[in-house]
Chains A and B, each alone.
Chain A
Amino acid sequence: MTDEAEASADGGRRGDGDDHVAGVRSYTVRLELVDEPGELLRALQPIADNGGNLLSIFHERGNLTPRGHIPVEVDLECTPDRFDDVVAALRDAGVNVIQAGAEQYSEEMTVLLAGHLIDTDLSDTLNRIEECAGASVADISLSSPEGTADASSARLRLAVESGRVDDVLAGIRAVAEDKELRVIEPLTGGGETA
C-alpha cells in the first residue's frame, strides 16, 4: 500500500489531501453489491465503524456488472492505517471490494477451465473465484462445441492484485476440485505470462 493517491480507472487523480488534518487522506473504494434492499447500507457500515469519513457515494443502479451486480464507488477520508482496517472490515463483511485506494489490480492472468462447466453452475464458479481475495473476473469466453450438456471450456481473464497470483490460483484450484473441473494454469514462473 503506497501513500500515493490512487489513480481511478478513468485516469483521474485525487490530491492526497494536503489541506487535511495531518495523516488523513482521501481514498476511493470500488464495491460490487448484490441488487437487494439493504445491501448498500450493509456495505457502508464497516466504513463508519472503522473511523472512515464518507465523502461521496456513486451508486450506478443502471450499470450492472457482467455478473449482474451494481458497481458502487465510495470516496472516504481516513488515516492510512485506518484505511487498511476499513478494507479488511468490508471484506470480512462479505462485501466484494473491487479496488481499494491505491490497491490496483496490477496483474492480469488468464486461466482455462475445462469440464462440465454449465452443469456445475458456471455463475457460481465465477462467484467463488471472485471470492478468492484479490481476484476479479474481467472477461470470460466459453466454448461448448458438444452442446452445453457436455464438456466445455472457458477462458477467464482475471484482474489480480499485485502479489496475489498464487493465492488466487490456489482458490481456483479448490473450486475446480470441488466441481471436478480441469484447470489449465498459466506458467507464472516462466516470466512469459504477458
Chain B
Amino acid sequence: MKLAVLGAGAVGRSVVELAGEYGHTVTAVADSGTAAVDPDGLDAAAVVDRKEREGVVGDAAPEDALAAEYDALVEATPTTLDDAQPGFGHVRAALERDRHVVLANKGPVAERYGDLRALKRESAGDVLFEATVGGAIPVLSTIADFGPSKVTAARGVLNGTANFVLSRMAAEGLDYEHVLAEAQDLGVAEADPAFDVNGTDAALKCVILANVLSDDDVEYSLDDAAVEGITDVPGSALDLAAEDGRTVRLIGEASADGVRVGPRLVPANGTLAVTGTRNIVQLETEHAGRLNVSGRGAGGPETATAVLADVGRLDG
C-alpha cells in the first residue's frame, strides 16, 4: 500500500523506517511545518536523517502531504484534546477522499468518536486505530475478533510512566518526587509528565476502549471519565500495601457503561501488578473467561508495529 505519514515524532519516524519491511511504500511524510512527497516512494532513511539533522522532513508544505497520492493516511501527530485538531482535520481530509485512515493519535478516537464514525459512514475508506491503545499490544484487534458485544469489560495498566514510578516507589521505598526525577533522567518520563501521572493518557485509552465496547451505542469522551492520578500517593501507602501482600497500580477500567482510572490496590504478585514500563490489558469475555494481553505499551518501533498491523488488515 501507499502510505502518507503525518507526524514525524518517534512513532511517525518508525512507521516510515519500517514500512518497506512490511511491503509498503511511503509516498508522503509531514511534520508540523514541512513535508516530503514522492509518488514513487520516498527514501525513508533520507527523510528520517534530514528530520534528525535539520528538524524538517522536506521542502514541501504539510497540506501537500495530505493531498498526495496514498491508499492510507497514517495519523501520528501528537494527541490533542477537545476538538482533537489538527489530527481530526487530517483524518477528515483522507476520508473525504475515500482513503483509509490508521491512527496512532488518540485525540480523534477519544474526543470525537461520533464525528469520526459519521465521517467513516460517508466514506469508502476505513478507520483503524490499534496503535492508540496499549502500543504494541493487540487489544483492539482482539476485541474485534471476539466481537465487542462478547467482551464485557476491559481493565489494566495502560501507562508505562506511571507504572514505572509506582513500581519503583514500592520496590525501593522512595518518594514520588525522587522516583519521578530518576524516571526523567532515564528518559522514561517526559520533562512535563502531567499527561502520564495525572491519569489523562490512561483515561484516553480507556475512553477509546469504552467507545469500542459500547459499539456505537453510547459515545464517550475524556469528560465522561472519572480520573485520578498518582501524584499524591505517598510512599507510606505503598509500604502499608506491601506489608499486606499488595501493591498500588494505576488501573484503568472500561466497559460499555463508562470509564474509571485511578490508583488501586492489587495483589503484589497478581496479574495486574506488572513492573517497570510494561502494560497489561485484561479482557472479560462472555464465553471464554478472562484474557490477559501484555507487552510494551509505548515506544516508536513498538507503536509502529501496531500501525503497520492495521495497514496490513486494510491491505488484506
Contact = CB atoms under 8 A, between A and B. Distances in A.
A176 B236 CA distance: 18
Contacts of A191: 290
Q: Which 3 A-B pairs have the closest CB atoms?
A: A143-B236, A153-B237, A155-B240
Contacts, number: 79
Interface in A101-127: 110-112, 114-115
B243 interface: yes
Interface string B256-278: 00000011111100111000000
B152 to A, nearest CB: 10
B155 interface: yes
A138 to B, nearest CB: 12
Contact of A192 (B241, B263, B272): B272
A1 interface: no
B235 A187 contact: no
A151 interface: yes
B76 interface: no
Interface of B: 153, 155, 232-237, 239-241, 243-244, 246, 248, 251, 253, 262-267, 270-272, 282, 290
Contact of A114 (B153, B237, B253, B264): B237
Given A110-B246, A112-B248, A182 B266 contact: no
Given A182-B233, A184-B237, A194 B267 contact: yes
Interface residues on A, range: 20 to 34
Given A114-B232, A153-B234, A184-B248, A192 B267 contact: yes
B263 A184 contact: yes
Contacts of B253: 189
A190 to B, nearest CB: 6
Contacts of A185: 262, 264-265
Contacts of B240: 112, 141, 143, 153-155
Contacts of A186: 246, 264-266
26 contacts: A110-B246, A112-B240, A112-B248, A114-B236, A141-B240, A141-B244, A143-B237, A145-B235, A152-B236, A153-B234, A155-B241, A155-B244, A184-B233, A184-B265, A186-B246, A186-B265, A187-B155, A187-B251, A187-B264, A187-B272, A189-B253, A190-B155, A190-B270, A192-B270, A192-B271, A194-B267
